[in-house]
């Protein structure tokens, strides 16, 4: 297990950061750039922006927000939601984003993964998977914030995406998202053990012990967290210190 990245996840319904449970019942929390700046100052490894209403408008609505964030935040910024073409990807990069996370468009046209990887590099092409458990060791991939079924087995879809050029997997458990009950460690490990690229675990972090568990037992390379940070239940420096005591290697922002 290498250095585990700590990634604040900001789900955005412009102009606000929002938070829900199971990706539903969204509550407005405030201005995205203020959250991003605070997390950057607290030593986040990356920032993840997800446009949760992109499906309604057929496009990503975060470009202005990303552009403002990039002026003050000097860590990688990943952007997801409503990205359907290489031109959309270029728009994100032009605004200051460093990576893109694609879900729906990749499900509908898997070759887009290869096109994006060739254009900006595999390391910047993140496949976003919204997973719901459908059996004791089986999960189905969903789109549209966990509302639309795809019929795709999560593990098989993850393997195929990497073959097509995805350089990272953002794996969100819809069942655990916003519940503070811990990550679906079985899900994360099932994917992490069959792909050769980093897996970002998302959905369910209630405390540092959950992060330790998903890194140690789920083999996650990174953790996306929202609720614990947005509601001020624990700040990044305290999380970093706690998991460091448990033996999880994380970047020291003081020497980065």
Give the catalytic positions in this structure.
11, 130
Sign, Cα dihedral of 54, 145, 139, 128: positive
Is residue 115 reached through a cis peptide bond, with omega within 30 degrees of 0 on the bond before it? no
Strand partners, 164: none
SS3 content of the chain, % helix, strand, coil (to 5): 35, 30, 35
Beta strands at 168-173 and 125-135: parallel, antiparallel or unpaired = parallel
Longest distance between any two alpha carbons in the chain, whole Å: 46
Beta strands at 5-13 and 138-143: parallel, antiparallel or unpaired = unpaired
Query: Measured between alpha carbons, how far is 144 from 150 in angstroms, rounded to an integer?
Result: 10
């Amino acid at each position: 297990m290498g250095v585990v990245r700590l990634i604040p996840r900001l789900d955005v319904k412009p102009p606000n950061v929002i938070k829900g449970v199971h990706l539903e019942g969204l509550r407005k929390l405030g201005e995205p750039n203020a959250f991003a700046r605070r997390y950057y100052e607290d030593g986040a490894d990356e920032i993840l922006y997800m446009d949760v209403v992109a499906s309604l408008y057929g496009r990503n609505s975060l470009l202005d927000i990303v552009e403002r964030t990039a002026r003050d935040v000097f860590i990688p910024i990943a952007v997801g939601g409503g990205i359907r073409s290489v031109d959309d990807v270029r728009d994100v990069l032009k605004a200051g984003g460093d990576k893109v996370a694609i879900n729906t468009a990749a499900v509908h046209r898997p070759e887009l993964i290869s096109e994006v990887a060739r254009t900006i590099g595999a390391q910047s092409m993140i496949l976003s998977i919204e997973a719901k458990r459908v059996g004791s060791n089986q999960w189905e991939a969903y789109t549209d914030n966990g509302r639309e079924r795809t019929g795709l087995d999560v593990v098989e879809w993850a393997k195929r995406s990497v073959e097509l050029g995805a350089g990272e997997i953002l794996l969100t458990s819809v069942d655990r998202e916003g519940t503070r009950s811990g990550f679906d460690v079985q899900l994360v490990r099932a994917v992490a053990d069959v792909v050769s690229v980093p897996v970002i675990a998302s959905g369910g972090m209630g405390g540092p012990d959950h992060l330790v568990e998903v890194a140690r037992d789920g083999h996650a390379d990174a953790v996306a967290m929202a609720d614990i940070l947005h509601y001020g239940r624990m700040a990044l420096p305290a999380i970093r210190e706690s998991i460091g005591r448990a033996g999880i290697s994380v970047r020291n922002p003081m020497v980065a």
